[in-house]
A and B are shown apart, each in its own frame.
Chain A
Amino acid sequence: MGRSRISVIAAMLAAASLLTAGCGQGLLDGGSNSGGDEGPITLGMLIPQSGSEAAIGPYMKNAAQLAVDEINGKGGVLGRKLELKVADDACDAQTAVAGANKLVTEGIKVSVGGYCSGATLPTLPVFGKANIPMIIPAANSQELVDQHLKHVFLINGTGTQQATAAMAWMTKQGATSVALVHDNTSYSKDIAVRTQKLLDEAGGPETAILEAVTPKESDYSANIHNILAKKPDFVYWTGYFQEGGLIIRQLRQAGYKGSVMVGDGAVSEKLAEIAGGDAAEGVYATMTQTPETLQGAEAWIAAYKKKFNADPGPYSNQAYDGVRLAAEAITKAGSTDGDKVIAALEAVDGFPMFSGPLKFTADHTLSTGGFQILVVKSGKFALQDALK
């Protein structure tokens, strides 16, 4: 036994030392990392490529790639090319943390991803430790803002800004009694609760009911019954389109005649399809700019279509802007050093983006949310009011 033990240990140590010498990424190698000051500057992007939100991934990835190619076509940044590395977060916390660590390992300089808030939240300390600035194009839950981390910048409107836009439109429409319906996910509840706070302030419409539904059910008549018992004249659904379509259909079937509005998660043509017939006609939505509602973006949409042979989708424009903003900040900073890029991002003033000239607030969010009101016309979302 004794001899076999020694030989086993010896063999193991030998194998380990061989591997160490061969690989050069172990503990004893002093943590030398790829991505130094030579070669391309890499940007990392965590997006859902699998799981429930996988449909969003390509829209964001393609748009970011488009921006990278355009910038490289003009000579790159600081005389170096840009390179985009994409990792899957599957909209899941654990996968996202592994993906974030993978990107850090690959030596990215700026993170330009983040769609699901729940998956983005645990990646903040991962990028923070590596001093990598994050420009988050889509995820927008208030928890991302509340930690006041200096490396985190949000270029999508926040829940507070969406609630403000919803409040402005409900007041404009002369609503008196509003039913808020959410699906108990972080994003949806956040908007509903913030809208409720605004409604509870004196003046304007009042909250009729704050109703939570369970996602992925096939019948919401119990919830509809609760809502209609309070006789609202305005219903605001803050969840996603699958449940939204069903709720709209059942509301109409139950004889509800008032206005319905949905949040940005429900803005999809599927909403009207699920609602069926013309049940969704005239439904309003609070939404940031999408490629369809952007004014003066025809050239950009054409370039996107030409390159990927597909239409841009939700958050394509934000992902595109995120990459451009990262390039701008690195250029201004004159370096890829995390602290300098963060300082450059804080100093950005009037950088042209689809959502308007950019200037970050002290919270590192957009100073103007860029939310607008859409309306469903013959099954498609069209611009109703830019709330300017």
Chain B
Amino acid sequence: MTAPAPAPAPARPRRGTALGRATSRLFDSRWAGLAGLAIAVLAPFVIATPYALSVMTSAAIFVMLASGLNIVVGFCGLLDLGYVAFFAVGAYTSGVLSTRLGLPLVATVPAVIAVTVVAGIVIGAPTLRLRSDYLAIVTLGFGEIIRITANNLDVTGGPSGIYGIPGLTGSPVVFYYLVVVVVSVAVIGASRLGRSRLGRAWRFVREDEDAAEAMGVHTYRVKLAAYIAGAVWGGLAGVLFAAQLSAISPGSFTFLQSALVLMAVVLGGMGSTPGVVIGAIVISLLPEVLRDLADYRFFAFGVLLILVMLVRPQGLWPHRSREAGS
């Protein structure tokens, strides 16, 4: 897993127009990531109302979720319709440990990582023999199993969930910056993983699993690694979610959530880190921007999503392969 020096890629425009070249260069530029981070860091200096901070924090957490799912779906091509299960596992593990045992939330992080790795293996090991549609159906089932289990166990508080989870920091501003730091590390980490040797194996599996296996890629192990990485990302996002809301209940982990995260990945551009970040921000901010439409809010949301997919079916910021000859 040696991280290769991310050499500034030679601009490889696919379209010949000058405009295409210019946008392509912009898309490939690493400054885009820095600019995004700068916007995130500077935003509270522009607007720091509790509402704005709450919305921005939620958006950042959603970015982390989407970048985790991007590892599974975007890099490795495994369609996961139950990704929110890992989010739930992380949120519940930290919630249960912090409220029942009185641990500070930070101290639950190692446990969350351990539990989500186990969850990733539990779902991954038996299901990764399946491909495409069949895998999607099993993951869909897994998402529902986790939610219904949480709904029925006493330790998870049953349908009313867990409340009174201690926050990570007192001030919402400090918490926002903490989330930005964690999410940035997570996004960069996911992106570097995607460019590592493992990441290349993931993409090989995505493009042609049989060919990958024939070329000596241990596809089973590689796919399991994608699952585990995605699970850990989701679980850690769950810890942030629990800290932000202070109360979690099964109602927050429905299939709709899984679908929204997947939508963020597809909308942004599968496998493209900046794309997924933008997709996640759009998906999480759009309903808030449309809040004033009240009854028509989700109708407008749906129409806008359809429009985007019609205009840019490849995603807002599609992935461009950095490998020569592709």
A interface residue numbers (CB < 8 A to B): 4-5, 8-9, 12, 16, 19-20, 23, 25-29, 31, 49-50, 54, 87-88, 91-95, 97-99, 101-102, 104-106, 117-118, 121-122, 125-126, 130, 141, 143, 147, 184-186, 188-190, 212
* In the bound complex, CA of A105 to CA of B247 (Å): 21
* In the bound complex, CA of A189 to CA of B38 (Å): 47
Report the nearest A residue to B294, measured CB to CB.
Answer: A49
Q: Can you list 22 A-B contacts with CB-CB less than 8 angstroms, sorted by A residue number?
A: A16-B45, A20-B46, A23-B46, A25-B48, A25-B49, A26-B47, A28-B45, A50-B295, A93-B245, A93-B247, A93-B248, A98-B55, A101-B50, A118-B251, A121-B161, A122-B246, A122-B247, A126-B54, A184-B151, A186-B159, A189-B160, A212-B152
Contact A147 to B294, CB < 8 A, known contacts A97-B244, A118-B251: no
Report the nearest B residue to A13, measured CB to CB.
Answer: B42
On whether the beta carbons of B294 and A93 are closer than 8 Å, the reply is no
Report the nearest B residue to A5, measured CB to CB.
Answer: B31
On whether the beta carbons of A122 and B47 are closer than 8 Å, the reply is no
On whether the beta carbons of A102 and B51 are closer than 8 Å, the reply is yes
* In the bound complex, CA of A20 to CA of B48 (Å): 10
* In the bound complex, CA of A5 to CA of B29 (Å): 12
**B297 at the A interface (CB under 8 A):** yes
**B197 at the A interface (CB under 8 A):** no
Q: Give the shortest distance, in Å, between B48 (CB) and chain A (any CB).
A: 5
**B272 at the A interface (CB under 8 A):** no
* In the bound complex, CA of A91 to CA of B249 (Å): 12
* In the bound complex, CA of A102 to CA of B47 (Å): 13
Q: Which of A19, A31, A98, A189 contacts B288 (CB 8 A)?
A: A98
Contact A105 to B46, CB < 8 A, known contacts A88-B297, A93-B249: no
On whether the beta carbons of A26 and B249 are closer than 8 Å, the reply is no
On whether the beta carbons of B160 and A118 are closer than 8 Å, the reply is yes
* In the bound complex, CA of A269 to CA of B51 (Å): 38
On whether the beta carbons of A8 and B35 are closer than 8 Å, the reply is yes
* Chain A positions within 8 Å of B46 at CB level: 16, 19-20, 23, 25-26
On whether the beta carbons of B161 and A87 are closer than 8 Å, the reply is no
Q: Give the shortest distance, in Å, between B251 (CB) and chain A (any CB).
A: 5
On whether the beta carbons of B252 and A94 are closer than 8 Å, the reply is yes
**B33 at the A interface (CB under 8 A):** no
* Chain A positions within 8 Å of B158 at CB level: 184, 186, 189
Q: Which of A87, A98, A185 has the most CB of B within 10 A?
A: A98
**B115 at the A interface (CB under 8 A):** no
* Contact bitstring B22-61, A, C-beta under 8 A = 1, else 0: 0000000001001100100010111111111111001000
Q: Which of B45, B51, B152, B246 has the most CB of A within 10 A?
A: B51
On whether the beta carbons of A117 and B35 are closer than 8 Å, the reply is no
Chain A residues touching B, majority SS: helix
On whether the beta carbons of A104 and B50 are closer than 8 Å, the reply is yes
Chain B contacts with A in 270-296, Cβ cutoff 8 A: 287-288, 291, 294-295
On whether the beta carbons of A122 and B51 are closer than 8 Å, the reply is no
Chain B contacts with A in 292-320, Cβ cutoff 8 A: 294-295, 297-298
* In the bound complex, CA of A105 to CA of B51 (Å): 6
* In the bound complex, CA of A35 to CA of B221 (Å): 59
On whether the beta carbons of B246 and A105 are closer than 8 Å, the reply is no
* Chain A positions within 8 Å of B38 at CB level: 9, 12
**B110 at the A interface (CB under 8 A):** no
* In the bound complex, CA of A99 to CA of B245 (Å): 12
Q: Give the shortest distance, in Å, between B295 (CB) and chain A (any CB).
A: 6
Report the nearest B residue to A119, measured CB to CB.
Answer: B251
* In the bound complex, CA of A126 to CA of B246 (Å): 10
Q: Which of B48, B52, B245 contacts A94 (CB 8 A)?
A: B245
Chain B contacts with A in 126-182, Cβ cutoff 8 A: 151-152, 158-161, 163-164, 173
On whether the beta carbons of A121 and B247 are closer than 8 Å, the reply is yes
Q: Which of A105, A185, A190 contacts B52 (CB 8 A)?
A: A105
Q: Give the shortest distance, in Å, between A289 (CB) and chain B (any CB).
A: 25
On whether the beta carbons of B48 and A101 are closer than 8 Å, the reply is no
On whether the beta carbons of A105 and B50 are closer than 8 Å, the reply is yes
* Contact bitstring B70-96, A, C-beta under 8 A = 1, else 0: 000000000000000000000000000
Report the nearest A residue to B46, measured CB to CB.
Answer: A19
Contact A87 to B291, CB < 8 A, known contacts A20-B45, A105-B50: yes
* In the bound complex, CA of A195 to CA of B50 (Å): 40
* In the bound complex, CA of A54 to CA of B293 (Å): 14
Contact A26 to B298, CB < 8 A, known contacts A8-B31, A121-B249: no
On whether the beta carbons of B31 and A26 are closer than 8 Å, the reply is no
* In the bound complex, CA of A104 to CA of B51 (Å): 7
On whether the beta carbons of B58 and A94 are closer than 8 Å, the reply is yes
Report the nearest B residue to A99, measured CB to CB.
Answer: B291
Q: Which of B45, B55, B245 contacts A27 (CB 8 A)?
A: B45
* In the bound complex, CA of A125 to CA of B166 (Å): 11
Q: Give the shortest distance, in Å, between A32 (CB) and chain B (any CB).
A: 11
* Chain B positions within 8 Å of A16 at CB level: 42, 45-46
Q: Give the shortest distance, in Å, between A126 (CB) and chain B (any CB).
A: 7
